[in-house]
A and B are shown apart, each in its own frame.
Chain A
Amino acid sequence: MERRSPAFTVVIYASALLLAAVLLIPILWLFLMSVSSAADLAAKPLRWWPADLDFSRYRTLLTWEPNTMGQAFLAAIRNSLSVAFMAVGAALLVAIPGAWAVSRNPQMEWSLYALILTYMLPPVALAVPLYLGLSWLGLLNSTFGLAMIYLSILAPFTAWLLKSGFDAIPRDIEASARIDGARLDQILRILILPLAAPALSTAALFALLLSWDEFFYALLFTSDQKAKTVTVAIADIAGGRVSDYGLIAAAGVLAALPPLLIGLLMQRAIVAGLTSGGVKG
């Protein structure tokens, strides 16, 4: 390993600090806004550090009292979680066998690419027919209906990531298992999936974040607490006649917490997943 010149080391540490600042400051500011008083936020120039930490907005948002903004918000978080888990779970279920098949049969690759083409459709294009379809099935304003739609968005991505993950697992492993008489589902369950765990986590995480993030379909297909997800809820809060920036910021912090936490917990898996299977040309 070459020795670094001291000047280069300084550059590296300076860049690292700059990067850390760039990554952290906006998010930190979001949090600070959520605990600053309205007066602090209206000062010109701004008071960066609030005189008193004001956590009241979190109290407003985290209450289950009926007919409050808090209940609506908590319900939205619940809906986002439920839709995400349903969609991601189902996506993994259908993607694993499919990705496996494509991985072990390269001549089928075109079908996977064809499915990925659906990703290129702007959501606006399908919105109206999807709305009519969901309505006909009675699945408007339901987390299940939304999860169904999300499933179709998540599945190609998941399959693609999983295929790369499976590609990295040598075929000899299953060859010997097959000789020993194992069935396909046994091979998958006992041998392959544990080996592909990093790729699985990456895929699951990607899918979860995509699901949590989705806004457009949720906006059109949900209408009340039964199914409205957190992205729509926060857009409502930010777009309505709420002039308290701190409240908007607090809602933002709460809406971002689950994916942020999951991201932090699983980031090692992402890098591992990307390195092991993932994104080779």
Chain B
Amino acid sequence: MPAPESDFLGVLATFSQHGVEFIIVGGVCGVLHGAPISTFDLDVVHARTPENVERLLRALEELQATVRGPGGSGRTPGRSHLLSASHQLLLTRCGPLDLLGAIGRDRDYARLLSRSQVIRVRPDLSVRVLDLDALIEVKAETARDQDLAVLAILKRTLEERSRR
């Protein structure tokens, strides 16, 4: 089976159509804030309420999401996984998608909400993204090599934005 092309807008539009509550974090969040970085997957923190997880499951079915990686390949994510704080690494028909129950130091959807903003990507599509300063904090907390590699670019982007 050929690898699907990354279509971040396709995932976001599907989530929006199903009324999924989520916050975009990670590299795509950095790009939306204007950082010239690259990433292969879309990272989102979803609200872990039973109602939202039901909406999320319907959206994932439409996206043909399956678990990515050894041991899970081909499995579909379950309700209990999405209700937990764990990370679900998925492959969809619109490319890789990571659903994160919490990030950094136990920052879940409810805790991140006050550090996020809604942006209008297209006239018919508005999404919630983590604030850039909060993304920098989370990247510094997580401190994996891949996070540290983009930290300088994110910090400069924040500085340049504040100068405008």
A binds B: no
